[in-house]
């Protein structure tokens, strides 16, 4: 399975005066500021949806065509909706595990 489609300069890192900027400098200003924290949080939030879309685009081109998915879908509203649902169930599942562990201690 290939999930390396639609990688952008955000993922590959960008050269700034000949130096590859670190991953935490998301807006390429060579500083770590609150803007970078917000951008990192957004990328983490979109992780499930983006991962699903990358998987479909790379491994099921027919399905990607049917769903009209292309690289512009990475990080968009549909990805955000899927990510919200994925994170919702992840935290529900995690909460159930924590409650079960608390009941047994
Ligand atoms: Ca920055």
What does 45-96 look like in DSSP terms, one character per residue? Answer: HTHHHHHHHHHHHHH-HHHHHHTT--GGGTTSHHHHHHHHHHHHHHHHHHHH
What is residue 26's predicted lDDT score, i.e. its pLDDT?
84
pLDDT tens digits, one per residue of 29-81: 888 999 999 999 999 999 999 999 999 999 999 999 999 999 999 989 999 99
Q: By the 8 A CB rule, do 55 and 1 touch?
A: yes
Q: Residues lining ligand 1 (ion), CB within 5 A? A: 25, 27, 29, 31, 36
Q: How many Å separate Cα 92 from the centre of its chain? A: 20
Domain assignments of the chain as residue spans, ordered by start: 9-103
Long-range residue pairs from 32-35, CB within 8 A, at least 24 positions apart, any chain: none
Q: By the 8 A CB rule, do 37 and 27 touch?
A: no
Q: How far is the CA of 38 from the centre of ligand 1 (A)?
A: 10
**Bigger pLDDT: 1 vs 70:** 70
């Amino acid at each position: 399975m290939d999930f390396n489609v639609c990688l952008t300069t955000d993922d590959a890192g960008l050269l700034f005066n000949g130096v590859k900027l670190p991953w935490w400098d998301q807006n390429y200003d060579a500083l770590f500021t609150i803007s970078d924290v917000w951008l990192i949080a957004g990328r983490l939030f979109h992780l499930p949806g983006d991962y699903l879309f990358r998987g479909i685009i790379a491994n099921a081109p027919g399905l990607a065509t049917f769903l009209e998915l292309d690289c512009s879908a990475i990080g968009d509203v549909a990805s955000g909706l899927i990510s919200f649902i994925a994170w919702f169930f992840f935290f529900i599942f995690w909460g159930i595990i924590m409650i079960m562990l608390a009941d047994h201690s």
